[in-house]
Amino acid sequence: MEKELIDVDLSMKFDSLSVLENIRFKVHENEFLVIVGPSGCGKTTMARLLAGLQKPTSGHVTMRGESISPKVHNISIVFQEPSCIPWRTLWDDITMGLVIKGVDQSAIKKRAEEVIKLVGLDGFEEYFPKQLSGGMKQRVAIARAYATNPDLLLMDEPFGHLDAQTRYLMQIEIMRIWEKEKKTVVFITNNIEEAVYLATRIIVFSKLPARIKAEYRIELPRPRKLTTPEFLGVRSEVTEQCEVVER
Amino acid sequence: MGSNYLERVKVFSYNLISLTIFIILWFWVARWQASPFFASPAEIAQGFMQMVTVGDEEGITIFMHLWQSLIRVFSGFGAACVLGIPGGLALGLFPFIYNRTRIIIEPLRFISPIAWIPVAIVLLVGFTRYVFVIWVASFFPIFITTLWSVRNVNLIHINVARVAGASRWFVITRIIVPATLPYIAGGMRVSLGISWMCIVAAEMIGGEMVGIGRLILKSSMMHRMDLVVVGMLTIGILGYCLNEVFIKVEKRIFRWRAAVSID
Amino acid sequence: MEEKINREKYKTLGYNVLTLFLFLAIWTLAYWLIKSPFFPSPLMVFNAFLELLIHGDIEDVKLGMHIQQSLWRIFGGFAAACILGIPLGLLMGLYGRVYDSTKVLIEPIRFIPPVAWIPLVIVLLVGYFRFVFIIWLGAFFPIFIGTLLSVRGVNPLHIEVPKSFGASRFYIIRNIVLPSVLPEVLTSMRVGLGIAWECIMAAEMIGGERVGIGIMILKYAQLIRMDAIIVGIIVIGIIGFGLNEIFIFVEKRIFRWKEVVSI
What is the mean pLDDT of the segment spanning A106-132?
88
Is C107 in the same domain as C191? yes
Asked if A97 has any chain C CB less than 8 Å from its own CB, the reply is: yes
Cβ distance B204 to C123 less than 8 Å, yes or no, reads no
Per-residue pLDDT, B100: 81
| Strand A75-78 relative to strand A152-156, pairing | parallel
B18-25 own/partner pairs: CB under 8 Å, 24+ apart? B18/C101, B18/C102, B18/C104, B18/C105, B19/C104, B19/C105, B22/C105
Is C56 in the same domain as C8? no
| Number of domains present in the structure of chain C | 2
CA-nearest of A196, A210, A209 to A238 is A196
DSSP 8-state code for residue A210: B
Q: Is the per-residue pLDDT at B179 higher than 50?
A: yes
Identify which of C157, C179, C261 has the shortest CB distance to residue A83.
C157
Query: For position C252, which CATH number holds?
Result: 1.10.3720.10
- C-alpha span between A185 and A76 (Å, rounded): 10
Mutate to test the interface with C, among A67, A85, A151, A154 (most CBs of C within 10 A): A85
Cβ distance A70 to C164 less than 8 Å, yes or no, reads yes
Mutate to test the interface with C, among B6, B69, B200, B261 (most CBs of C within 10 A): B200
Cα torsion for B106, B110, B114, B118, to the nearest 10°? -60
- C-alpha span between C157 and A44 (Å, rounded): 13
**Structural domain contains residue C122:** yes
Q: Indicate the burial class of C241 (C-beta count within 10 angstroms; 0-12, 13-18, 19 or more).
A: middle
Those residues whose C-beta lies under 8 Å from the C-beta of residue C14, and which sit 6 or more positions away, are none
| Strand A4-14 relative to strand A201-205, pairing | unpaired
- C-alpha span between B209 and B217 (Å, rounded): 11
Per-residue pLDDT, B262: 39
Compute CA B224 distance to the chain's CA centroid, rounded to the nearest angstrom.
Answer: 27
- Express as a percent the part of chain C with pLDDT over 90: 23
Is C162 in the same domain as C119? yes
Closest-CA distance of chain A to residue C102, Å = 27
Asked if B1 has any chain A CB less than 8 Å from its own CB, the reply is: yes
The answer as to CATH 3.40.50.300 being correct for domain A1-73+190-247 is: yes
What is the mean pLDDT of the segment spanning A219-223?
83
**Mean pLDDT, all residues of chain A:** 86
Amino acid identity, residue C255? F
Identify which of B109, B205, B220 has the shortest CB distance to residue C122.
B220
Q: Is the per-residue pLDDT at C42 higher than 80?
A: yes
Per-residue pLDDT, C1: 56
- The radius of gyration of chain A's CA atoms, rounded to the nearest angstrom, is 18
Per-residue pLDDT, C260: 44
Per-residue pLDDT, B146: 92
Closest-CA distance of chain B to residue C124, Å = 7
Compute CA A53 distance to the chain's CA centroid, rounded to the nearest angstrom.
Answer: 15
Residue-wise pLDDT for C155-183, tens only, equals 889 999 999 998 999 999 999 999 989 88
Cβ distance A130 to C166 less than 8 Å, yes or no, reads no
Closest-CA distance of chain B to residue C162, Å = 28
Which chains form contacts with chain A, at 3 or more CB pairs under 8 Å? B, C
Chain C positions contacting chain A at CB under 8 Å are 157-158, 160-167, 171, 175-176, 179-180, 255-263
Is C178 in the same domain as C144? yes
- Model confidence band, residue C126 (pLDDT cutoffs 50, 70, 90): confident
Is C13 in the same domain as C93? no
What is the mean pLDDT of the segment spanning B114-125?
86
Q: Is the per-residue pLDDT at B260 higher than 50?
A: no
Per-residue pLDDT, C263: 31
What is the mean pLDDT of the segment spanning C141-152?
91
What does the domain layout of chain B look like in residue ranges?
1-34, 40-253
CA B163-B166-B168 angle, to 5 degrees, is 120
- C-alpha span between A215 and A203 (Å, rounded): 5
What is the mean pLDDT of the segment spanning B132-146?
92
Is C191 in the same domain as C129? yes
Per-residue pLDDT, B263: 37
Asked if B4 has any chain C CB less than 8 Å from its own CB, the reply is: no
Per-residue pLDDT, C2: 62
Closest-CA distance of chain C to residue B172, Å = 26
Per-residue pLDDT, B1: 44
Asked if B156 has any chain A CB less than 8 Å from its own CB, the reply is: no
Per-residue pLDDT, A243: 59
- Model confidence band, residue B3 (pLDDT cutoffs 50, 70, 90): low
> A15: which chain B residues are within 8 Å (Cβ-Cβ)?
1-4
SS3 readout for C50-78: HHHHHCCCCCCCCHHHHHHHHHHHHHHHH
Is C133 in the same domain as C243? yes
Compute CA C109 distance to the chain's CA centroid, rounded to the nearest angstrom.
Answer: 21
Residue-wise pLDDT for A142-200, tens only, equals 889 988 888 899 999 888 888 888 888 888 888 888 888 788 999 999 888 888 898 89
Is C23 in the same domain as C87? no
- The ipTM of this complex is 0.83
- Model confidence band, residue A92 (pLDDT cutoffs 50, 70, 90): very high
Is C22 in the same domain as C145? no
- Model confidence band, residue B154 (pLDDT cutoffs 50, 70, 90): confident
> B1: which chain A residues are within 8 Å (Cβ-Cβ)?
15-16
Amino acid identity, residue A20? L
- C-alpha span between A45 and B246 (Å, rounded): 38
Superfamily of domain B40-253: MetI-like (1.10.3720.10)
**Structural domain contains residue C263:** no
Instruction: Return the residue of C nearest to A74 by Cα.
Output: C165
Q: Is the per-residue pLDDT at B43 higher than 60?
A: yes
Residues in a beta bridge with A33 = A186, A201
Closest-CA distance of chain A to residue C182, Å = 11
Those residues whose C-beta lies under 8 Å from the C-beta of residue B78, and which sit 6 or more positions away, are none
Q: Is the per-residue pLDDT at A247 higher than 60?
A: no
Asked if A126 has any chain C CB less than 8 Å from its own CB, the reply is: no
Closest-CA distance of chain C to residue B247, Å = 15
Instruction: Return the residue of A nearest to B1 by Cα.
Output: A15
Is C230 in the same domain as C173? yes
Per-residue pLDDT, B2: 53
Sign of the Cα pseudo-torsion (B73, B79, B85, B91, in order): negative
Identify which of C171, C179, C260 has the shortest CB distance to residue A130.
C260
Residues in a beta bridge with A27 = A6
CA-nearest of A147, A207, A156 to A177 is A147
Peptide bond into A223 cis (omega under 30): yes
Domain that holds residue C172: 42-258
A:C CB pairs within 8 Å? 64
Is C31 in the same domain as C47? no
SS3 readout for chain C: CHHHHHHHHHHHHHHHHHHHHHHHHHHHHHHHHHCCCCCCCHHHHHHHHHHHHHCCCCCCCCHHHHHHHHHHHHHHHHHHHHHHHHHHHHHHHHCHHHHHHHHHHHHHHHHCCHHHHHHHHHHHCCCHHHHHHHHHHHHHHHHHHHHHHHHHCCCHHHHHHHHHCCCCHHHHHHHHHHHHHHHHHHHHHHHHHHHHHHHHHHHHHHHCCCCCHHHHHHHHHHCCCHHHHHHHHHHHHHHHHHHHHHHHHHHHHHCHHHCCCCC
What is the mean pLDDT of the segment spanning C100-106?
82
Instruction: Return the residue of C nearest to A102 by Cα.
Output: C167
Q: Is the per-residue pLDDT at A133 higher than 50?
A: yes
Identify which of A81, A101, A130 has the shortest CB distance to residue C165.
A101
Closest-CA distance of chain A to residue B5, Å = 12
What is the mean pLDDT of the segment spanning B205-222?
85
- Express as a percent the part of chain A with pLDDT over 70: 98
Is C53 in the same domain as C84? yes
What is the mean pLDDT of the segment spanning C15-38?
86
